[in-house]
Amino acid sequence: PLNHSLVYILSQSPFVLRQTGFPFTLTPSEMVVRFGDPVSINCSTSATDVEGMGWEAPFGGTGFKPPPVVTWRVEKLEEWAPSPFCYVTLVDGEQYTAKPDITVYKTPDFVSVSDRGRGPMVEGREHDLKCDVINVAPVQNLTVKWYRDNETVQTETFNDSTMTPVNASSSLRISTQRNYNGLTFRCEAELHLGPKGPKFLPNVTSPPYTAVVLCKTCPDHVTVVENAAFSIDMLSCQPDGNPPPTVQWFYEEKLINPSKSLTRTDSGKYTAVVENSLGRTVVLTVTHPQTSDGFTRLL
């Protein structure tokens, strides 16, 4: 029976190609090859009126050979879009050609995750991570999966038809939550090469990216009865971070003792500064105005 690869009739130049029922067989007619690996394909015919046949290719061409079988063989395939074709010349001078479908692949050199230099995440804000996949082919067969710990959170494929190795990237936008602190994010590159591809092709995974989330835990508004004992450290301000941060309070740009009791004369602007080895961030401003109802309000 006729192999499902396309078989064409070849006339005088300019070539006129049309599908035909000439009895060609390419074995295999489709193949997936790792760049640099050996490859061989047999071309055979059951026709009895064949004068000769051969393979035409930049590498591995055979010249004109007697039927019924001729083999294209390359010890080290180093073309990204190989296009060999088998031809048959009949005794009456008519020619037919058949071309195999060859996919050449390369797994990535490495995969990495970065935060684009934006530093720690901040609770309640969006944060972008970038996955870089270096030197992979063909990119149209690439799938990038994002994981938060062991949960898949995003999958991306690519439409680029480039056959040579390229660098691909994928972005993940995160709506930062407090409980993301300490979680790991990673991305994984997979090549899906179909049933003709290798049965087991290991995925390439990035090193883990550990989330550092800066959290605002101080209340925005606190109401205090006038003349009641109150100090800054009575606020529930215990910010999370990795490494654990320290909190310092400032009044009129001067460091204060947060345990000191405040009175009306201490009205003004109070600022909390959270600091760890990753950076220093102002997270809260407190004012201490008098209200018309005789209460003092921390905002």
* pLDDT at 98 > cutoff 80: yes
What's the average model confidence in pLDDT over 162-181? Answer: 95
150 or 238, greater pLDDT: 150
Considering the domain delimited by 7-103, tell me its CATH architecture. Sandwich (2.60)
How confident is the model over 117-138, as pLDDT tens digits?
Answer: 777 888 888 999 999 999 999 9
What's the average model confidence in pLDDT over 230-248? Answer: 68
Range with top average pLDDT, 4-18, 211-225, 253-267, 284-298? 253-267
Per-chain mean pLDDT for the chain: 82
Q: Do domains 110-214 and 222-298 have the same CATH topology?
A: yes
What's the average model confidence in pLDDT over 205-219? Answer: 82
* pLDDT at 18 > cutoff 80: no
Can you give the three-state secondary structure of the chain, one letter per residue? CCCCCCEEEECCCCCCCCECCCCEEEECCEEEEECCCCEEEEEEECCCCEEEEEEECCCCCCCCECCCEEEEEECCCCCCCCCCEEEEEECCCCEEEECCEEEEEECCCEEEEECCCCCCEECCCEEEEEEEEEEEECHHHEEEEEEECCEEEEEEECCCCCCCCEEEEEEEEEECCHHHCCCEEEEEEEECCCCCCCCCCCCEECCCEECCEECCCCCCCEEECCCCCCEHHHCCCCCCCCCCCEEEEEECCEECCCCCECCHHHCCEEEEEEEECCEEEEEEEEECCECCCCCEEEC
Is the pTM higher than 0.85? no
What fold, for 222-298? Immunoglobulin-like (2.60.40)
Domain boundaries 110-214, corresponding CATH code: 2.60.40.10
**What is the percentage of the chain residues whose pLDDT exceeds 90?**
57
**What is the percentage of the chain residues whose pLDDT exceeds 70?**
76
* pLDDT at 271 > cutoff 90: no
State residue 283's pLDDT score: 46
State residue 205's pLDDT score: 98
How confident is the model over 48-90, as pLDDT tens digits?
Answer: 999 999 999 999 999 999 999 999 999 999 999 999 999 999 9
Query: What are the domain boundaries of the chain?
Result: 7-103, 110-214, 222-298
